[in-house]
Amino acid sequence: MFLSLRTEVEDALEEALSTLEFPTDDLGIEEPPEDVESVLASSVAFRLAGEAGAPPPAIAGRIADEIDVDDLASVSAVETQGPYLNFLPSDSYFAGTLEAATDAEYGALDDREESVVVEHTSANPTGPVHVGRARNPIIGDAISNLLEYAGYDVDRHYYVNDAGRQMAVFTWAYETFDEDDLEDEPARDRIEYDLVRYYRKGNAFLENASEPEAAAAEAEIESIMQGLERGDEATYERVSDVVDQVLSGMRECLARLPAEFDEFVKETRFMRNGDTDDLVARLKELDEAVYEEDAWQLDLEERGIDKNLVFLRSDGTSLYATRDLAHHEWKFENYDRAVTVLGEDHKLQARQLRTTLELLGNDTDELRQVLYSYVNLPEGKMSTRRGTGVDLDDLLDEAIDRARREVETRLDDRIRDDDLDDADIERIAHQVGIGAVRYDVVSKQPTKAITFEWERALDFEAQSAPYVQYVHARCCGILEEAGLDPDVDLTEQDVELESLDAGLLETPAERDLLETIARFPAVVDEAADDLEPHRVATFTREFADRFNAFYRECPVLGDDVGSDRRDARLALVAASRHTIANALSILGVAAPRSM
């Protein structure tokens, strides 16, 4: 409804300005100031004041006089407030919003018939996922969800670094050392925690070995790298034995968030099928190609990049960047758009990759690279069992434990009498704890560094995940008390939406809530365009404030509430439930039925 209202307003402004012979380019429809009780406002009067030779309020008044609200289905009146034009929604607008939002799919936009591949996480398969990288799967998964809601056909990809020196060292170490050679026990009973010990043992050996021992080890490591470069099947199987086991454990960790993937695309794929060799040949033909310091490189200084891109070593082995170029050309061939989520330490590589793709003749307009800063933990707040850093599993365990304690503290006698058993408490602890981590991470702009603080993330009273999740639980509680099933559409429960009188929702709290609900599809649309899921998180906080105001001021099931008003308010609660559930779904945060 909001999108159609915005279109109506833009068209009305354009027609009015045309009548007044004012330019109509760049109308700049904006959100209103907080003290303006309207859906839209335009500051176009400011830009026209100089040309028209009149003060902005006078310009706004002249524009308002030219707008016939009888021609606008979603607008009841046009008022001026200083230089602003305020378009007040009509009763039909509110009625349409109420009916649309009682659909369980509310907020999902029409199919755009456009495919997008979102590559995220892609942590090297050398061990457990570290908490510093936790922002990547959380942001990447939220972007994927957001694009799906916005009507795109989305594939989620994890790009697996299964070539190069790291994996050669890991494979050699796994085949060389026995369990008895390892110095510590696995931190968890999961495969990546077991195998990472071999990787650490191998690196420690190479650092401390005698010259003959190190030379023999390096020869084997080089043999593995060369075998991968040649596409040797036996070498590939040796490396895959390690990679696939580690990945299986990492996937279990990521599934706890949850962050799921449609495909794990291995970089060796582009070595084995010849794409990397073909790309190297094309790179050598570029004017920017130079052979310096025993390696083939691209000199990108004229493109504003002061560090060369090395794409082939003197021994004939390619680099990660080389294979990633082939990977991206494959994306361009198979998808309409490509999105990559990267840590801030990859900023230079991201520029080098985009520039090189352009030099190779690729159109990179549909390549979007989302860079993020890392997640830090307050000093002394969490310790690791190994002293080598905090793993994502540690953070999630701590979040669940803290949420469980908070939930148990908040349980009152009424809830206990409702037979909220241990399984219910554990479910809520998982939903709230992991939701708190995801929400706190995704609610910040990606380029801003995060210091994760438990007290803020798990604050039921502040603007955090539990604060928003509780709104959903409250909606479910009201519907259940009215004898309705929150998971079933009202139309399937003999509620006639067409007969509801949305005009009865006339208090400021009800209208504010309806206006906020109406904005949700537009929030999805704009956030998807800019790949900014934190806008959805901002919306959920605003929504929670509006709903709580409605809950305080507008009883739904009270004895003094008439049946017609009761039904209208129940429909508003159902619409609220769908809106907040779908917004949380985009963020990857669970929407509990009870808390």
pLDDT of residue 144: 98
Indicate the pLDDT class of residue 7, thresholds 50, 70 and 90: confident
Superfamily of domain 392-587: Isoleucyl-tRNA Synthetase; Domain 1 (1.10.730.10)
- Give residue 31's identity as a one-letter amino acid code: E
The region of weakest confidence among 214-228, 283-297, 356-370, 558-572 is: 558-572
pLDDT of residue 36: 37
Residue 361, classed as helix, strand or coil, is coil
Could you tell me the pLDDT band of residue 417, with boundaries at 50, 70 and 90? very low
Under a CB-based contact definition with an 8 Å cutoff, are residues 154 and 144 in contact?
yes
Name 450's bridge partners. Answer: 375
Cis omega (within 30 of 0) on the bond before 212? Answer: no
Tokens of 441: 């991470």
Q: Is the pLDDT of residue 46 over 70?
A: no
Residue 387 has pLDDT above 50, yes or no: no
Q: Is the pLDDT of residue 515 over 50?
A: yes
pLDDT at 25: 45
Contacts of 272 (CB under 8 A, 6+ apart): 231, 236
- Is the distance from CB of 84 to CB of 111 less than 8 angstroms? no
DSSP string of 526-575, one letter each residue: HHHHHT-THHHHHHHHHHHHHHHHHHHH--SS-TTS-HHHHHHHHHHHHH
Cα–Cα dist 352/309, whole Å:
7
pTM of the model as a whole: 0.89
- Residues 149 and 36: their CA atoms lie apart, in Å, by 30
Q: Alpha helix (H) ranges present in 20-164?
A: 44-52, 56-65, 91-101, 135-149
Q: Which residue has the higher pLDDT, 240 or 33?
A: 240
471-493 mean pLDDT: 91
Alpha-carbon distance of 348 to 586, in angstroms, equals: 30
Are 447 and 371 a contacting pair, CB within 8 Å?
yes
For residue 217, give every residue at least 6 positions away whose Cβ sits within 8 Å of its Cβ, in sequence order, or none. 172, 176, 205, 206, 209
> Do the Cβ atoms of 461 and 388 come closer than 8 Å?
no
Task: Tell me the backbone φ, ψ of residue 371, rounded to 5 degrees.
Answer: -100, 140
Looking at per-residue confidence, does 518 or 378 come out higher? 518
Q: Predicted confidence band at 48 (pLDDT cuts at 50, 70, 90)?
A: low
Structure tokens at 301: 């200084």
The structure tokens listed for 418 are: 């409702």
For residue 289, the cross-strand partners are 298
Phi-psi region of 243 (alpha: psi -120 to 50; beta: other; left: phi over 0): alpha
Place of tokens 């026990």: 185
β-strand partners of 159: 265
- Mind listing the pLDDT tens digit for each residue in 123-158? 999 999 988 788 999 999 999 999 999 999 999 999
How many CB atoms are located within 10 Å of the residue 349 CB? 16
Mean pLDDT for the stretch of residues 562-578:
94
User: pLDDT tens digit string along 271-303?
Assistant: 999 999 999 999 999 999 999 999 999 999 999
Tokens 């979102």 sit on residue: 118
Give residue 83's identity as a one-letter amino acid code: P
Distances (CA, A) of 422 to 18, 196, 591: 66, 35, 19
pLDDT for position 1: 62
Instruction: Tell me if 594 sits within 8 A of 426, measured CB to CB.
Output: no
Q: What is the mean pLDDT of the chain?
A: 88
Domain boundaries, the chain: 1-89, 115-372, 392-587
**How long is the chain?**
595
Considering the domain 115-372, what is its CATH architecture? 3-Layer(aba) Sandwich (3.40)
Measure the CA–CA gap between 202 and 170, rounded to whole angstroms. Answer: 7
Q: Is the pLDDT of residue 14 over 90?
A: no
Domain 1-89 falls under CATH 3.30.1360.70: yes
Which residues are bridge partners to 78 per DSSP? 87
Per-residue pLDDT, averaged over 494-505, amounts to: 80
Q: At what angle do helices 563-587 and 534-553 cross, to 10 degrees?
A: 160
